[in-house]
Chains A and B, each alone.
Chain A
Amino acid sequence: MVRTYLLLAWTWLRASAQYPGSLIMMMLGSFAVNALDVAAIWVIFEHTESLGGFELAEVMFLYGTAGLSFALADMLFGNVDRLSQHIRSGDFDTMLIRPASAFTQMAVDRFGVHRFGRVTQAAVVLAIALPQLGLSWSRTWMIPLMVVCGLVIFAAIFTLGGAMQFLLTDAPEVANAFTYGGGTLTQYPLSIYGSELVKGVTFVVPLAFVNWQPALFVLDRDDPLGLPYWLRFASPLAAVALTTVAALAWRAGIRRYRSTGS
């Protein structure tokens, strides 16, 4: 599956090199958008010292870890939630007649350089934040783990969004609320949101495990909502649980697939 993904990704990259003009414009565009994004965070902190009880470097840490997880998930699997387009155009039918997983083919479809943009931006923010936090090695081990768990959680949400489109071919936006909405929500300390919402994203859609709970451990902070301490280590559990749900939903979706006329 990984080899198939890499081979197809390489194929799409070469295919996109067929349009050099578009390739250059895409890279420039992607760079400009991301530069603006970084500028926006900087503008916010020109005007405030802390956000939701967290200081600049800590907020940048939260932003960077969530951003990195989301950007990596979007780069690798984001296309899955464009399923309805592929269903309508009939492309999805041609994926189903090939001896490879439809999920892999969907995830990698039209892989291009534009997918790298946000990853760099998030990594830069994280790289700026980390030295300012003065973390000890007894806590930093959590950082790679939380980025990977976050990636898996977002990938599962993209998959759920895609699976939903087997039924709601006309309403891909419903899924976007959770994918891109979730991506934005986790970039800030959850303490700025109401406690009902935080409980929702802890126990229903487990977005709090992308970065919030493990970050409380890394930063050695008390939970503003006073949730149990062990939740800080529960990200892998949340990731596995959500992935299971997403995989089942995807399989159920394929079984209910209706194709198009013709």
Chain B
Amino acid sequence: MIEVDRVGRSFTVGRRRTRKTLHAVRDLSFTVEPGEFVGYLGPNGAGKSTTIKMLTGILAPTSGSIRVAGLDPTRRRTALARRIGVVFGQRTTLWWDLPLRDSFELIRYLYKVDQPDFRRRLAELTELLGLADFMTTPVRQLSLGQRMRGDITAALLHDPAVLVLDEPTIGLDVVSKAAMRDFLRRLNADRGTTVLLTTHDMGDIEKLCRRVMLIDHGSLAFDGTLDDLRATAPEGGSMEEVVARLYSG
């Protein structure tokens, strides 16, 4: 479903004399099979967001090749957008001043979703995520938890095969977090949606991800199951400790 083959992305920073090249991602390769739920971990600045942006077609890689849902993200960006869902925890893709319902109607048009499919999915998601109470509220007046539920709905209305989540639980309270995790687990189990999730929250990883990939300094430092990850630490310890050891190593 996602194929990343020896991908690199560098940025030139500074002007003239102070110019240098930063390698945000270097020689990155991995494959994600359909139906997998993968956690993508890494310290700040390790290249997580750069990877996500390359997978979604926002950034072009400087070397290597990527295929997501069978498409080259940079060349077929708009076609890919119809097959994947993307959620950024730190910013909304909804229209700030519009009621949620209007944002969803726009998305229906942009993604060319049939009216009956749209109604069915929206009804489903409204129930699962409890959107009914704030469907007519402008997005700017929603709480963070409500807005995130709106963003997730927006990303799923076109029934994407892959869902990419960039820190979806950041800033959420324990109840909202639990509800969000429950929803994502069911989405993956019932619909078989492939999910790739970045997070700094080890709870997300322990509760959701069967597979964990860890990126550091732009390349994979670990790729395996949750149990394999635990086994890297000699005497057990919490997930935070296990991961912190890998970050610094």
With known contacts A255-B60, A257-B58, A259-B59, A98–B110 Cβ distance under 8 A: yes
Shortest CB–CB separation between residue B168 and chain A, in angstroms?
14
Is there a chain A Cβ closer than 8 Å to B49's Cβ? yes
Q: Is A98 a contact partner of B93 (Cβ separation < 8 A)?
A: yes
CA–CA, A21 to B103, complex, Å? 23
Is there a chain B Cβ closer than 8 Å to A88's Cβ? no
Q: Is B60 a contact partner of A97 (Cβ separation < 8 A)?
A: no
CA–CA, A8 to B109, complex, Å? 10
**In the complex, number of A-B residue pairs with CB atoms less than 8 Å apart:** 67
Closest A residue to B56 by beta carbon equals A97
Is there a chain A Cβ closer than 8 Å to B11's Cβ? yes
Q: Is A257 a contact partner of B106 (Cβ separation < 8 A)?
A: no
With known contacts A4-B110, A93-B53, A94-B88, A11–B98 Cβ distance under 8 A: yes
Q: Is A99 a contact partner of B49 (Cβ separation < 8 A)?
A: no
Contacts of B49 in A (CB 8 A): 261-262
CA–CA, A43 to B117, complex, Å? 62
Contacts of A19 in B (CB 8 A): 97
For B95, B97, B98, B138, which residue has the most chain A Cβ atoms within 10 angstroms? B97
Q: Is A101 a contact partner of B78 (Cβ separation < 8 A)?
A: yes
Is there a chain A Cβ closer than 8 Å to B119's Cβ? no
Is there a chain B Cβ closer than 8 Å to A139's Cβ? no
Q: Is B90 a contact partner of A258 (Cβ separation < 8 A)?
A: no
| Interface flags, B56-100, vs A, CB<8A=1, else 0 | 111110000000000000100111011000101011110111100
Is there a chain A Cβ closer than 8 Å to B36's Cβ? no
Q: Is A258 a contact partner of B110 (Cβ separation < 8 A)?
A: no
Of the residues A7, A97, A256, A258, contact of B106 by C-beta under 8 Å: A7
Interface size of B by Cβ–Cβ distance < 8 Å?
32
With known contacts A15-B97, A255-B74, A99–B57 Cβ distance under 8 A: no
CA–CA, A110 to B91, complex, Å? 17
Shortest CB–CB separation between residue A93 and chain B, in angstroms?
5
With known contacts A96-B77, A100-B78, A255-B60, A262–B97 Cβ distance under 8 A: no
Q: Is B93 a contact partner of A94 (Cβ separation < 8 A)?
A: yes
Contacts of B79 in A (CB 8 A): 99
Is there a chain B Cβ closer than 8 Å to A120's Cβ? no
Q: Is A96 a contact partner of B91 (Cβ separation < 8 A)?
A: no
With known contacts A259-B53, A262-B49, A97–B93 Cβ distance under 8 A: yes
Is there a chain B Cβ closer than 8 Å to A18's Cβ? yes
With known contacts A11-B102, A258-B59, A262-B49, A99–B97 Cβ distance under 8 A: no
Shortest CB–CB separation between residue B193 and chain A, in angstroms?
17
Is there a chain B Cβ closer than 8 Å to A199's Cβ? no
With known contacts A18-B138, A93-B53, A262–B110 Cβ distance under 8 A: no
| Interface flags, B33-63, vs A, CB<8A=1, else 0 | 0000000000001000100010011111000
Shortest CB–CB separation between residue B105 and chain A, in angstroms?
9
Contacts of B77 in A (CB 8 A): 96
Contacts of A4 in B (CB 8 A): 109-110
CA–CA, A256 to B98, complex, Å? 32
Q: Is B95 a contact partner of A11 (Cβ separation < 8 A)?
A: yes
Shortest CB–CB separation between residue A252 and chain B, in angstroms?
11
Shortest CB–CB separation between residue A99 and chain B, in angstroms?
4
Contacts of B53 in A (CB 8 A): 93, 259
Contacts of B30 in A (CB 8 A): none
Closest B residue to A102 by beta carbon equals B77
Contacts of B96 in A (CB 8 A): 15
Q: Is A99 a contact partner of B82 (Cβ separation < 8 A)?
A: yes
Q: Is A97 a contact partner of B86 (Cβ separation < 8 A)?
A: yes
CA–CA, A259 to B58, complex, Å? 8
CA–CA, A93 to B57, complex, Å? 10
Contacts of B82 in A (CB 8 A): 99
Q: Is A99 a contact partner of B58 (Cβ separation < 8 A)?
A: no
Sample 5 A-B pairs with CB under 8 A, ordered by A number. A4-B109, A15-B95, A97-B81, A99-B78, A99-B111
Beyond A96-B77, A97-B81, A99-B110, 17 additional pairs, beta carbon < 8 A: A4-B110, A11-B106, A15-B98, A16-B97, A90-B91, A93-B58, A93-B88, A94-B92, A97-B57, A99-B81, A101-B78, A256-B60, A257-B59, A259-B58, A259-B59, A261-B49, A262-B90
B interface residues, Cβ below 8 angstroms from A: 11, 45, 49, 53, 56-60, 74, 77-79, 81-82, 86, 88, 90-93, 95-98, 102, 106, 109-112, 138
Sorted nearest first, the 5 A-B pairs with minimum C-beta distance are A15-B97, A99-B81, A99-B78, A97-B86, A94-B93
